[in-house]
Structure 1
Amino acid sequence: MSWLRRKFKAVKPNVNTSGMGKVTVSVVVCIVVVFSVVGVYWSSEPDPFDVVATAKEKAAAQGYLNNSKQLVVGYTTASTLHTIVQTLLDKPGGFITNDIMPPGLLMDNMPAWEFGVLVQSRDLARAFRKEFSRSQSQSTEDVNLKIAEPQFNFDTKSWALPSSESEYRRGNKELMGYLNRLAGETSNTSKAQFYARADNLSDWLSDVSTRLGSLSQRLSASVIDESAQQAETDENNRYVRTPWSKIDDVFYEARGTSWALVHILRAVEVDFFFTLQDKNALVSLRQIIRELEATQASIWSPMILNGSGFGLLANHSLVMASYVSRANTAIIDLRRLLEQG
């Protein structure tokens, strides 16, 4: 049997395990590099857009605008909502929140940004359906908006049929139908309406104020002193600290919220101009826009820093909380002017 063992030993293939290991490592490194580069590209936030110019482009494309005709009241705000949702779906990487494959699966900052934008889109779509398009509480709701608003509230994590993107696109299609009926020459029974009243604007701003107040609290809660929490015995007064792993998520959610609100408020200034002017509220609105614009400044750090108090490191969450809180305070003042001014 010894000769048989020697024979098999002679024909045994010489497998270069070290070479295969190097190839495997090289492939893994290449995949990681590719995913990292794509992830960085997909993490880039969309550029701001001119709400008036974009609205005019939409109207001109549909044949509703010429050199001598102005946009109808409400068209700029509705067009801005349509563009925001379209940007959410068509930006680099598309809608990333429901991705089930890398690199989207491994990303958290951009999905948080998307959620902030989506929340403001949902709130505005609800305001259109409930208030902006209706003359009074007993009036009939708009045929397009009653379909569009629920579509924007579809689950953000759905990747199968129907996917989140397909439902949001359907909502945007219905919103475009409302835009066409708002600007088009149609009969009184089918023409869409938009009522730029102070009470309508105040009701929507109430939702905005609630969202910003919550974000400001969550941002500020990232630096609560843990020792102070331990000394507190009253459960009703206990502070809730933002988890360390969620600090960047809250920051980017606030950044996405502010990005959407900057565009929406610019459109509101156009469509509610005379209402705001009558209430002496234009200055307050523009102050809110300036505060929110400051949240969109470039981030030069490769990560969101969370320095404590007056320590050596910056605290990006507290800076964001400052701008958001000041914008929220200005919104409260603006609502007071709309109701009493």
Structure 2
Amino acid sequence: MNEKPAMVPPGPDERRDSLGNQAHDSSNAGQRDPSGAGSSARTGSRPSPLRVVGIGLALCAVIVLALGIVWSRQPPTFDVAALQATELAAIEGSRPVPGTAVVAAAIGVGETLLDKPGGFLFNDITPPGIYLDNMPNWEYGALKELRDSVRALRNDFSRSQTQSIENDHAKRADVKLAIDASSWMLPSAEDEYRQAMDSLRLFLRDLSTGRDRSARFYARADNLAAYLSVVEKRLGSLALRLSASVGDHELAAALIMNVGDPNAEMEPEIESMKIDGGGGATPWYLVDDIFYEARGYTWALLHMMRAVSIDFADILASKNADISIQQIIRDLEGASKTMASPIVLNGHGYGFLANHSLVMASYISRANAAVLDLRILMQQG
């Protein structure tokens, strides 16, 4: 019968060696564990590439949103008389002759379009400009009035009669402003508009110093009446388009100016609305576009009317038309007031919500009536 060999108890020296080896192993294990834990902690603290991309996109979205809010604010009005003095102070030997206020106001409107926060946004193809629609429509309205004013300067204000020669600087400014506002390269709209402002400054220099005999400004009643005739059509069209926000045919028909005058010319949208009985309501996604276009036009027209009150002061006084021009300015100031609402509301009639388009149409219709009275006064002998 096999027997297991008897276990001999280890001696004192063997026990010490065993305990020493265990302690050494434990010490090594303890040294390795913290190192492993630290490595694991460092590996887990590194953000993943997906997380980095997400944080970057979130920051970009916040920046784009903030810029969009800042760039969508309407620029403040400027003092036409102060701008006229500033422009003339930069020209040696200049003096404030009639016409310098109108030219200075046109320069101020044009440079506001180019130098306001965000610059000219209508032709932007990158965010946030490409996503904005309120400010680009505001710019288009202001640009429309600027084009009308510069064209009147070229064809009426700077010419004494039909056989007179047009000024080269006024002509070049008109041509440069006629470029498509959506053009963004070769050439860009901003570059062309900047050149137009340079041409207006050259016209202002020649006008205020008398260096060029072709640079003249004739502050006559018939010239002003021709410009006011264009303004009438613009305001009548805007009032009609704004009133269409509720699709009220009777209200739209009441805002049509000069319907009974067979010689009065109408813009295409006014004529079509007259024929078809008023048309339907403006689609909801176009209400704010028309509203901000009207805001831009009235903002630019406000400065031009202030300039007209300066350059045509003698004519207005002789025609007893001071009250009419001041009424136009007051109504345009009302149309350009700062909005408290962040969005354009489109309520109906006396409903729960306001209708900002009808409020704007009311101001514009009052201004249009005053423009009509002023034009009639200018045409009377």
Answer yes or no: same fold by TM over 0.5.
yes
1:328 is matched with 368
**Cα displacement string for residues 203-254 of structure 1 (whole angstroms, at most 9, x for unaligned residues):** 101111100111001100001159xxxxxxx973251422211111111111
Residue of structure 1 aligned with 2:292, choices 247, 252, 276: 252
Matched, 1:287 2:310: no
2:132 is matched with 107
1:75 is matched with 100
Alpha-carbon distance between aligned partners in 1 of 2:210 and 2:149, rounded to the nearest angstrom: 25
Residue of structure 2 aligned with 1:205, choices 212, 215, 228: 228
Q: Which has the larger radius of gyration?
A: 2
Deviation at 1:101, TM superposition (A): 0.2
Matched, 1:239 2:279: yes
**Cα displacement string for residues 157-215 of structure 1 (whole angstroms, at most 9, x for unaligned residues):** 111121000011111111111101001142xx645100000010011011111001110
Letter in 1 for 2:152: A
Alpha-carbon distance between aligned partners in 1 of 2:210 and 2:372, rounded to the nearest angstrom: 38
Aligned residues: 315
Alpha-carbon distance between aligned partners in 2 of 1:313 and 1:256, rounded to the nearest angstrom: 24
Letter in 1 for 2:238: L
Alpha-carbon distance between aligned partners in 2 of 1:302 and 1:238, rounded to the nearest angstrom: 30
2:6 is matched with none
1:60 is matched with 89
Alpha-carbon distance between aligned partners in 1 of 2:293 and 2:103, rounded to the nearest angstrom: 23
* 1:272-283 map, 5 Å: 272-283=312-323
**Cα displacement string for residues 80-138 of structure 1 (whole angstroms, at most 9, x for unaligned residues):** 10111011101111100000000000000000000011000000111011010000011
Deviation at 1:23, TM superposition (A): 3.3
Question: Identity over the aligned pairs, expressed in percent?
Answer: 47
Unaligned runs of 5+ in 2: 1-42, 250-273
* 1:276-315 map, 5 Å: 276-315=316-355
Letter in 1 for 2:132: M
Cα 1:101–1:138 change in 2 (3 A) is same
Matched, 1:35 2:64: yes
Deviation at 1:63, TM superposition (A): 1.9
Alpha-carbon distance between aligned partners in 2 of 1:310 and 1:85, rounded to the nearest angstrom: 39
Residue of structure 2 aligned with 1:195, choices 201, 206, 218: 218
2:178 is matched with 153
Deviation at 1:15, TM superposition (A): 11
Alpha-carbon distance between aligned partners in 1 of 2:110 and 2:245, rounded to the nearest angstrom: 30
Alpha-carbon distance between aligned partners in 1 of 2:280 and 2:200, rounded to the nearest angstrom: 39
Matched, 1:51 2:80: yes
Alpha-carbon distance between aligned partners in 1 of 2:248 and 2:317, rounded to the nearest angstrom: 45
| Mapped contact 2:166–2:214 kept (Cα < 8 A) | no
Matched, 1:268 2:308: yes
2:120 is matched with 95
**Cα displacement string for residues 31-60 of structure 1 (whole angstroms, at most 9, x for unaligned residues):** 111000011111122111110111111111
Q: So what's the TM-score if we normalise by structure 1?
A: 0.88
Residue of structure 1 aligned with 2:191, choices 154, 166, 170: 166
Letter in 1 for 2:290: V
2:243 is matched with 220
Cα 1:243–1:271 change in 2 (3 A) is same
Alpha-carbon distance between aligned partners in 1 of 2:303 and 2:195, rounded to the nearest angstrom: 22
- Name the SS for the 1:305 alignment partner: coil
Deviation at 1:22, TM superposition (A): 3.6
Letter in 1 for 2:154: R
Q: So what's the TM-score if we normalise by structure 2?
A: 0.79
Residue of structure 2 aligned with 1:318, choices 358, 366, 372: 358
Matched, 1:340 2:363: no
| Mapped contact 2:248–2:278 kept (Cα < 8 A) | no
Alpha-carbon distance between aligned partners in 2 of 1:300 and 1:157, rounded to the nearest angstrom: 30
2:267 is matched with none
Alpha-carbon distance between aligned partners in 2 of 1:36 and 1:81, rounded to the nearest angstrom: 32
1:5 is matched with none
Alpha-carbon distance between aligned partners in 1 of 2:234 and 2:337, rounded to the nearest angstrom: 21
